[in-house]
Amino acid sequence: MKQVILIGTLAGFGALTAAAVWQHGFLGILASPLQSLAAGQIFVDLVIALTLVMVWIWNDARARGRVAWPWIVATLAVGSFGPLLYLLLRDAKSGP
């Protein structure tokens, strides 16, 4: 059931992201936090939340004997897709 929820979340978020990039372009998405104080607050909140998630990924991956840096890089590069993919794939393989 967890896998279905994660796949559904990835698909829905991926569709939303694709539509936003299509409509506004990649630079338009990056520029939107500069448009208002409210948008900036949401962006900072996302940065704080993803930083906490990256700390959790680091600790969880190390506890499982896995390498954490690819997931940290993915989170920095593509935001929430990194942690969602980590959760989806963390139990998929055995070993590092």
27-73 pLDDT, tens digit per residue, is: 888 888 888 999 889 999 999 999 999 999 999 999 999 999 999 99
Residue 92's pLDDT is: 73
Nearest-10 Cα torsion for 92, 1, 21, 29: -90
* Cβ pair 10, 84 in contact under 8 A: yes
Q: Is residue 94 part of a domain?
A: no
> Whole-number mean pLDDT of the chain?
91
- Domain of residue 38: give its range: 2-89
Choose among 64, 42, 46: nearest CA to 54: 46
pTM, rounded to two decimals: 0.82
Which residues lie below 8 Å from residue 23, measured CB to CB, with a gap of 6+?
Answer: none
DSSP classification of residue 33: G
Q: How confident is the model at residue 26 (pLDDT cuts 50, 70, 90)?
A: confident
- Overall number of domains in the chain: 1
Q: Is residue 54 part of a domain?
A: yes
Q: Is residue 95 part of a domain?
A: no
Q: Is residue 96 part of a domain?
A: no
Q: Is residue 36 part of a domain?
A: yes
